[in-house]
A and B are shown apart, each in its own frame.
Chain A
Amino acid sequence: MEALVASAIGVMTAAGVYLILRLRVFPVVLGMTMLTYAVNVFLFASGRLAVNMPPVLREGVDTYTDPIPQALVLTAIVISFGMTSVVVMLALGAFVEAGDDYIDLDGEAEK
Chain B
Amino acid sequence: MSPALIAALPFLGAILPGVLIRTGRNNTAIAAGLTSGLALLGLLLHLPAVMAGEVIRTSFNWIPWLGLNAEFMIDGLGMLFATLILGIGILVILYARFYLSSKDPAGQFYTYLLLFQGAMVGIVLSDNILLLLVFWELTSLSSFLLIGYWKHLPEGRQGARMALTVTGAGGLAMIAGMMILGNIAGSYSITDILAARDVIQSSDMYVPALVLILLGAFTKSAQFPFHFWLPHAMAAPTPVSSYLHSATMVKAGLFLMARLWPVLSGTPEWFYIVASVGLLTMLIAAKIAIFKDDMKALLAFSTVSHLGLITFCFGLGTHAGVVAGVFHIINHASFKAALFMTAGIVDHEAHTRNLQRLGGLRKLMPVTFTIATIATLSMAGIPLFNGFLSKELMLEEASHTAWMANDWLVPVLATVAALLSATYSFRFLWAGFMGPVRDDYPHKPHDPNFGMWASPAFLTVLVLLIGLLPYVADQVVQTAANAVVGGGLAPVHLAIWHGITPALVMSVIAVAGGIVLLALYRPLRAMWQASPRPEAKDIFDWCMARCVALANGLTAGLHTGSMARYLLIFVTTVLAVGFWAWSGGTQGPQTREMLPVSVVSLVGWIMLVTATLCVAAFHRNRFLALVLVGIVGLVISVCFVYLSAPDLAMTQISVEVVTAVLMLLALNFLPKVTEAETSNFKRHFDKVFSVLAGIGAGSLIYALMMRDFAFPSMSEYHLANSYNLAGGDNVVNVILVDFRGYDTFGEVIVLGIAALVIYALTEALLNGTGSRKLIAWRPDTLRAGDKHPVMMLIATRVMMPIALVFGVFIFLRGHNLPGGGFIAGLIVAIALLMQYMASGFAWTQARQKIYYHQLIGVGVLAAGITGVGAWFNGKPFLTSDFGYFKLPWLDKFELATAMGFDTGVFLGVVGSVLLALGGLSRLARRAAAPGEEHAAHILAEKPEARTVADASMVSYPQGTPVPKRWLTRNEDGSLEDRDLMERDKHRDTNEGDH
Contacts and interface: CB of A to CB of B under 8 A. Distances in A.
| Chain B interface residue number, banded | 35 or more
A74 B736 contact: yes
A23 B678 contact: yes
B564 A86 contact: no
A34 B636 CA distance: 11
Nearest to B737: A71
A92 B561 contact: no
A41 B635 CA distance: 12
Interface in A12-43: 12-30, 33-34, 37-38, 40-42
The interface size bin for chain A is 35 or more
B562 A104 contact: yes
A84 B659 contact: yes
A82 B640 contact: no
A10 B694 contact: yes
B645 A70 contact: yes
Interface string A46-62: 11111111111110000
B662 to A, nearest CB: 5
A79 B835 CA distance: 24
Contacts, number: 334
A96 B773 CA distance: 7
Contact of B644 (A12, A53, A71, A92): A53
Nearest to A25: B670
Contacts of A67: 715, 718-719, 731-732, 735
A66 B715 contact: yes
Most B CB within 10 A of own CB, among A10, A47, A80: A10
Interface in B255-309: none
B244 to A, nearest CB: 45
B731 A5 contact: no
B666 A88 contact: yes
A49 B729 contact: no
Contacts of A110: 678-679, 682
B625 to A, nearest CB: 6
Nearest to A57: B729
B564 A29 contact: no
* Residue among B670, B678, B697, B761 with max Cβ neighbours from chain A (10 Å): B697
Interface string B646-662: 11100110010011001
Contact of A93 (B674, B770, B826): B770
B699 A10 contact: yes
Interface string A86-111: 10111111011101010111101111
Chain A CB within 10 Å, residue with most, of B629, B659, B677, B731: B731
Given A2-B702, A34-B632, A42-B697, A21 B648 contact: no
B548 to A, nearest CB: 22
Contact of A68 (B677, B718, B919): B718
B818 interface: yes
B836 to A, nearest CB: 15
Interface string B690-716: 110111111101101110110001110
B595 A42 contact: no
B670 A46 contact: no
A80 B751 CA distance: 9
B981 interface: no
B744 A75 contact: yes
Contacts of B134: none
A70 to B, nearest CB: 5
20 contacts: A2-B594, A2-B595, A4-B601, A8-B605, A25-B670, A28-B563, A30-B625, A33-B659, A41-B636, A47-B715, A65-B644, A70-B647, A71-B740, A73-B645, A75-B736, A85-B755, A97-B765, A106-B562, A108-B561, A110-B679
Interface of B: 560-565, 567-568, 571, 592, 594-597, 601-602, 605, 608-609, 612-613, 615-616, 619-620, 622, 625-626, 629, 632-633, 636, 639-640, 642-648, 651-652, 655, 658-659, 662-663, 666-667, 669-671, 674-675, 677-679, 682, 686-687, 689-691, 693-699, 701-702, 704-706, 708-709, 713-715, 718-719, 722-723, 729-732, 735-736, 740, 743-744, 747, 750-751, 754-755, 757-758, 761-762, 764-765, 768-770, 773-774, 777, 816-818, 822, 826, 909, 912-913, 916-917, 919-920, 923
Interface of A: 1-30, 33-34, 37-38, 40-42, 44-58, 64-68, 70-71, 73-75, 77-86, 88-93, 95-97, 99, 101, 103-106, 108-111
